[in-house]
């Protein structure tokens, strides 16, 4: 039957096309080759509805078919299978006069299905010709979206510390077309298209946030209140310093919701402070450099911020104590010394003392005394270090020794002894210490460190002794003295004529003969002149100073160890 109807339509269509061939032959040929006939076709587009709704069904009829026409429709679900069939969904319709397109509303309400398919199934024209599905074109798919249901929720209200929190929405059921959307003002979401983003607010406060789950054309909304109490914060600082030990003032600046409880460590000792003001100070007695470190701070809401050495969470109270070291006791030869204080690890050093410093701020500066008038001078010099309010001083003693020079002392005059083997040395000792040494001879020195010591056991001939002057750390300097031992020597004549030659009686060595006495006799044995402690000054006079006549005389010179008797000729005439 269907084939006969199709052939009939086809023949009728060919006759119609032939009549138009003269006007549009190319078009008629194309139409005959490429277009098939249909009874009706479904124009309703695929679409989605939320759970239920009205679908506007549009059916386009072939206007070449005689009316009235009927058309049937079938609705089938993806879960339920066959849902509805209406053999006369459209009945007694005249496409040629009422319009090629017939619109009719159909209500969809199939809660068990996710989608339904609508298609045309049968047709009947005015000639009572029946058409089947092969004569019907098109079908429509209606997706049925669902409103999200339990456990859909934006989550419990949140009260937390800080300015951010993770939201805890629970999505409801979906049908494969689900998406999420968070919205709310006063902050931002890490990703507002997921169920559990992080919400970060600009300020503390309570924020109402909306969670929307979208299932196709369906959606559900829920709200949650998020209270962000903020996070407490604290910084620590101090301008205090100590000198070894002392009180340090520590300042805390707090932010957030007070009152607060702050825990801190001073060195290895931890303590807790209860604070009601955002600006807070306290004092601690400390010894040595000490670090104050914030451990945590808790606000009135129980919010805690912990610290681990971040900037502003630690402060070091410096110990400015200094220990001056002026160096060791020093001895030098001369008037100049190079000092050797320890350079300060911190602070500024300064020398002070009686004398001249090359640079008072140099720990190893040169120092010169103004005068070295004695053999040794001691100076106490002070090295002072100043570091802030801290001060330390140390004193070093420097001993300056005058340098011995040969022009500053003598071992005495060279001496001739007559008939004498002992003597008292006559060296000088301007400063320092001296020591005698026998260089030639066998002399015995009574006191080797005594500049005027007696000596004995002098040998006849040359005796050489050395006087060495030492002064502290200076190099020693020496001077020699010679003592020549010989017999007393005299002459047997004088010529007291004032010519400066042989005017007096010379007895060499008389001045070294103790308790000496000179007696002059005439040829008759009469004493004409007598003198004790003779000084080689008798010029031929008697005891009254009268000039004795020329002639022969006798003399006796005696004293300790000496007794000389001999003649003497006085001859004052000038020839």
**For residue 334, what are the domain limits?**
330-398
Sign for the pseudo-dihedral over CA of 307, 310, 315, 320: positive
Q: With pLDDT > 90 as the criterion, what percentage of the chain qualifies?
A: 76
In a domain, 325, yes or no: no
- pLDDT tens digit string along 63-101? 989 989 999 999 999 998 888 889 999 999 999 899 999
Q: Is the pLDDT of residue 575 over 50?
A: no
Same domain, 203 and 217: yes
Please tell me the distance from the alpha carbon of residue 51 to that of residue 218, in angstroms, as a whole number: 8
Please tell me the distance from the alpha carbon of residue 446 to that of residue 424, in angstroms, as a whole number: 10
- pLDDT tens digit string along 98-152? 999 999 988 887 778 889 999 999 999 999 999 999 999 999 999 988 889 889 9
Same domain, 427 and 460: yes
**CATH assignment of the domain containing 204:** 2.60.40.10
Same domain, 478 and 496: no
> How many domains is the chain built from?
7
Q: Report residue 355's pLDDT band, with 50, 70 and 90 as the boundaries.
A: very high
Q: Quick one: DSSP state of residue 492?
A: S
pLDDT on residue 491: 87
pLDDT on residue 23: 35
Q: What is the DSSP string of 6-34?
A: HHHHHHHHHHHHHHHHTT-HHHHHHHHHH
Same domain, 11 and 108: no
Domain boundary among 145, 173, 188: 145
Q: Is the pLDDT of residue 57 over 90?
A: yes
Within 8 A by CB and 6+ apart from 320, the residues are 241, 242, 243, 346, 347, 387, 388, 389, 390
Sign for the pseudo-dihedral over CA of 403, 406, 407, 408: positive
- pLDDT tens digit string along 408-456? 999 999 998 877 889 999 999 999 999 999 999 999 999 999 999 999 9
- pLDDT tens digit string along 474-494? 999 999 999 998 888 888 999
Q: Which of 170-179, 204-213, 321-330, 538-547 has the least mean pLDDT?
A: 170-179
- CA angle, corner 238, sides to 236 and 240, nearest 5? 155
pLDDT on residue 26: 36
| 244 upstream amide cis, omega within 30 of 0 | no
| pTM (global) more than 0.75 | no
- pLDDT tens digit string along 388-403? 889 999 999 999 999 9
Mean pLDDT of the chain: 89
pLDDT on residue 543: 93
Same domain, 365 and 428: no
Q: How many CB atoms lie within 10 A of CB 97?
A: 9
**CATH assignment of the domain containing 365:** 2.60.40
Q: Is the pLDDT of residue 308 over 90?
A: yes
Reading the block at residue 340, the tokens are 């050797």
Higher pLDDT, residue 1 or 182 = 182
In a domain, 311, yes or no: no
In a domain, 320, yes or no: no
Same domain, 199 and 135: no
In a domain, 85, yes or no: yes
**CATH assignment of the domain containing 520:** 2.60.40.3080
Q: Is the pLDDT of residue 12 over 80?
A: no
């Amino acid at each position: 039957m269907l084939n006969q109807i199709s052939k009939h339509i086809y023949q009728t269509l060919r006759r119609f096309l032939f009549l138009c061939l003269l006007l549009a032959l190319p078009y008629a040929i194309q139409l005959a080759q490429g277009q098939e006939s249909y009874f009706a076709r479904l124009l309703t587009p695929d679409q989605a509805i939320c759970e239920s709704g009205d679908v506007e069904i549009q059916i386009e009829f072939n206007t070449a078919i005689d009316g009235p026409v009927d058309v049937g429709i079938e609705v089938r679900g993806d879960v339920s299978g066959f849902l509805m069939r209406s053999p006369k969904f459209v009945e007694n319709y005249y496409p040629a006069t009422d319009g090629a397109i017939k619109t009719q509303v159909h209500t969809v309400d199939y809660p068990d299905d996710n989608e339904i398919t609508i298609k045309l199934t049968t047709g009947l024209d005015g000639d009572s010709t029946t058409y089947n599905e092969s004569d019907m074109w098109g079908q429509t798919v209606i997706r049925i979206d669902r409103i999200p249901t339990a456990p859909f929720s934006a989550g419990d209200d949140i009260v937390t510390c800080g300015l951010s929190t993770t939201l805890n929405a629970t999505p409801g059921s979906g049908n494969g077309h689900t998406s999420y959307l968070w919205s709310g003002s006063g902050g931002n979401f890490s990703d507002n298209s997921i169920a559990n983003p992080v919400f970060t607010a600009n300020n503390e406060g309570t924020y109402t946030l909306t969670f929307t789950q979208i299932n196709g054309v369906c959606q559900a909304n829920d709200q949650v209140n998020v209270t962000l109490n903020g996070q407490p914060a604290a910084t620590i600082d101090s301008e205090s310093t100590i000198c070894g030990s002392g009180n340090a003032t520590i300042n805390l600046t707090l932010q957030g919701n007070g009152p607060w409880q702050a825990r801190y460590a001073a060195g290895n000792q931890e303590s807790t402070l209860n604070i009601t003001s955002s600006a807070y100070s306290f004092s601690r007695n400390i010894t040595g450099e000490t670090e104050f470190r914030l451990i945590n701070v808790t606000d009135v809401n129980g919010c805690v911020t912990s610290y681990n050495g971040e900037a502003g969470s630690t402060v070091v109270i410096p110990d400015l104590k200094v220990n001056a070291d002026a160096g060791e006791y020093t001895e030098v030869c001369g008037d100049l010394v190079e000092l050797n204080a320890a350079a300060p690890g911190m602070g500024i050093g300064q020398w002070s003392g009686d004398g001249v410093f090359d640079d008072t701020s140099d720990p190893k500066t040169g120092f010169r005394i103004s005068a070295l008038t004695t053999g040794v001078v001691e100076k106490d010099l002070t090295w002072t270090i100043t570091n802030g309010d801290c001060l330390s001083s140390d004193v070093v003693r420097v001993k300056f020794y005058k340098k011995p020079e040969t022009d500053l002392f003598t071992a005495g005059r060279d001496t001739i002894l007559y008939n004498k083997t002992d003597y008292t040395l006559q060296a000088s000792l301007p400063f320092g210490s001296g020591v005698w040494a026998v260089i030639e001879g066998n002399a015995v020195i009574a006191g080797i460190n005594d500049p005027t010591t007696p000596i004995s056991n002098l040998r006849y001939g040359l005796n050489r002794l050395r006087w060495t002057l030492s002064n502290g750390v200076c190099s020693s300097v020496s001077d020699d003295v010679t003592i020549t031992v010989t017999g007393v020597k005299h002459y047997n004549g004088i010529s007291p004529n004032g010519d400066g030659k042989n005017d007096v009686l010379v007895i060499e060595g008389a001045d070294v003969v103790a308790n000496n006495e000179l007696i002059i006799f005439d040829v008759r044995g009469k004493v004409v002149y007598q003198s004790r402690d003779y000084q080689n000054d008798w010029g031929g006079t008697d005891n009254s100073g009268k000039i004795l006549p020329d002639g022969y005389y006798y003399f006796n010179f005696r004293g300790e160890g000496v007794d000389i008797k001999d003649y003497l000729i006085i001859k004052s005439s000038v020839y």
